[in-house]
């Protein structure tokens, strides 16, 4: 089974405008509402690839109820801990030409310590050996920086595989618990390691340092330039296919979804990352916050490039 853990989910509202202007009233030409949060985005990509998953995390209030119903309508399983307060709403303003965007995220509701313990107990109760868990996104107010680390400890105790996609101290503490894989982007890897990441060699050095922190495998995403993978077998640079980019928001989450899907299908780690990069590119080529279709992902996968950097860790 694949689970996605989203601690700070959101209803994402996107407004399309002719141009972004400041100190002016903008009139939207289009609007849409999606059910977001990094883990949910992964679940949406898994659904697009034909694989079920269950979304786990915190929800609250009417916004939380709307989000849960929306996920169910998409065919995504849910198993939430309910908190007082209101699940957040995030706002995106995107130009019609897709050349600029502004995204504003709310903080989210306060989550008390008892609710955090309730969620950890739920994870402990439902996890089986061989399950996959994607732990993704920011922490809502009140949640301790070591929450992901504690969750990974539980998952490792059940011989499940944890994929961690978060930032800062949460990422550092999570690495120490030896997750199966972590996926920072370049900026997050730079902040975590303190290294300059100007070249693939630099990024490879950062990946090695992150593995020294405890992560078994590391993928550092590089946006339109693809991703770098380092595992015990070596280092691979995986290049993204050429697309007409429309909205990059959520592309990194789609990459994680494609990667996990391919791993559950038996692909090697670097081949799985090829599927992940194709999935991320497919989503970036879509308008709004749609994820790429399986047909498009399969087509783009044929144009993903691989370079073995020959670095053994």
CA dist 95 and 266 (Å) reads 40
CA dist 8 and 117 (Å) reads 16
CA angle 266, 119, 265 (to 5 degrees): 5
Q: Does 14 fall in a domain?
A: no
Q: Does 263 fall in a domain?
A: yes
Contacts of range 227-230, beta carbons closer than 8 Å, 24 or more positions apart: 227/255, 227/273, 227/276, 227/277, 228/200, 228/203, 228/204, 229/269, 229/270, 229/273, 230/204, 230/311, 230/313
SS3 202: helix
- Residue 274 has a pLDDT of 96
Please give the residue range of the domain that contains residue 122.
2-6+36-85+113-308
CA dist 228 and 186 (Å) reads 10
pLDDT at position 54 over 70 = yes
Q: Does 67 fall in a domain?
A: yes
How many domains does the chain divide into? 1
CATH number at residue 160: 3.40.1190.20
Q: Does 282 fall in a domain?
A: yes
Q: Give one DSSP letter per residue of 122-174, joined into a string.
A: HHHHH--TT-EEEEESPPPTT--TTHHHHHHHHHHHTT-EEEEE--HHHHHHH
Q: What's the whole-number mean pLDDT along residues 173-198? A: 95
pLDDT digit string, tens, across residues 232-290: 989 999 999 988 888 787 889 999 999 999 999 999 999 999 999 999 999 999 876 78
Nearest to 267 by CA among 296, 241, 301, 225: 301
pLDDT digit string, tens, across residues 20-47: 999 999 999 999 888 878 999 999 999 9
pTM: 0.90
Nearest to 92 by CA among 153, 16, 5: 16
pLDDT confidence tier of residue 191, bands split at 50, 70 and 90: very high
H-run or E-run covering 256 = helix 251-264
Q: Does 23 fall in a domain?
A: no
Return mean pLDDT, the chain.
Answer: 93
SS3 87: coil
Q: Does 313 fall in a domain?
A: no
Q: Does 172 fall in a domain?
A: yes
CA dist 176 and 160 (Å) reads 16
Q: Which of 34, 165, 217, 253 is catalytic?
A: 253
pLDDT digit string, tens, across residues 228-246: 999 998 999 999 998 888 8
Q: Does 95 fall in a domain?
A: no
312 or 142, greater pLDDT: 142
Has 271 been annotated as catalytic? no
């Amino acid at each position: 089974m694949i689970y996605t853990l989203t601690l700070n989910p959101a209803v994402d509202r996107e407004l399309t405008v002719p141009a972004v202007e400041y100190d002016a009233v903008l009139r939207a030409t289009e609007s849409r509402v999606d059910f977001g949060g990094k883990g949910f985005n992964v679940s949406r990509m898994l659904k697009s690839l034909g694989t079920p998953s269950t979304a786990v995390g915190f929800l609250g209030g009417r916004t939380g109820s709307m989000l849960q119903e929306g996920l169910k309508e998409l065919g995504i399983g849910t198993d939430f801990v309910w908190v007082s307060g209101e699940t957040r709403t995030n706002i995106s303003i995107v130009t019609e030409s897709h050349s600029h965007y502004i995204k504003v995220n709310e903080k989210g509701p306060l989550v008390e310590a008892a609710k955090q313990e309730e969620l950890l107990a739920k994870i402990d109760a439902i996890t089986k050996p061989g399950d996959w868990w994607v732990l993704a996104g920011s922490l809502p107010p009140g949640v301790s920086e070591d929450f992901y680390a504690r969750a990974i400890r539980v998952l490792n105790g059940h011989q499940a595989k944890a994929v961690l996609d978060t930032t800062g101290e949460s990422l550092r503490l999570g690495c120490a618990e030896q997750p199966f894989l972590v996926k920072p982007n370049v900026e997050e890897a730079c902040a975590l390691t303190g290294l300059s990441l100007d070249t693939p060699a630099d990024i490879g050095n950062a990946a090695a340092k992150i593995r020294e922190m405890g992560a078994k495998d590391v993928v550092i995403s590089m946006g339109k330039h693809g991703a770098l993978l380092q595992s015990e077998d070596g280092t691979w640079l995986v290049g993204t296919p050429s697309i007409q980019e429309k909205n990059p928001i959520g592309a990194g989450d789609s990459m994680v979804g494609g990667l996990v899907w391919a791993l559950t299908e038996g692909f090697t780690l670097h081949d799985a990352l090829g599927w992940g990069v194709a999935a991320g590119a497919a989503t970036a080529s879509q308008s709004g916050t749609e994820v790429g279709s399986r047909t498009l992902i399969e087509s783009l996968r044929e144009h993903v490039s691989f370079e073995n950097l020959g670095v053994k860790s």
